[in-house]
Amino acid sequence: MKKSEKRKKITIRCRKCFMVDSYEIEEKKEIKCKHCGSKIYKIDSI
Ligand SMILES: [Zn+2]
């Protein structure tokens, strides 16, 4: 039995536009806001 790919999805609030959305977390990859394009920080997850 194969498990699906390990993809963590977390909900993060953007520091700039305060929009909340879920983002897939990949190591060594920057996350950018879907709404304003600014950098998203994992520590802002809610
Ligand atoms: Zn934003």
Residues with CB under 5 A from ligand 1 (ion): 14, 16-17, 33, 35-36
In a domain, 25, yes or no: yes
Domain total of the chain: 1
CB-based contact 23:39 (threshold 8 Å): no
| CA 27 – CA 42 distance, rounded (Å) | 11
Residue 40 is part of which domain span?
Answer: 8-44
Q: Is residue 21 part of a domain?
A: yes
Task: With a cut of 80, say whether residue 6 has pLDDT above it.
Answer: no
Average pLDDT along the chain: 89
Distance 12 CA to ligand 1 centre (A): 10
Q: Structure pTM?
A: 0.75
How far is Cα 30 from Cα 41, in angstroms, rounded to an integer?
9
* Tens digits of residue pLDDT in 27-37: 888 999 999 99
Residue 40 within any structural domain of the chain: yes
For residue 20, is it within any domain? yes
| Alpha carbon separation from 16 to 6, 11, 33 (Å, rounded) | 29, 15, 9
| The pLDDT of residue 2 | 60
Cβ–Cβ < 8 Å for 44, 12: yes
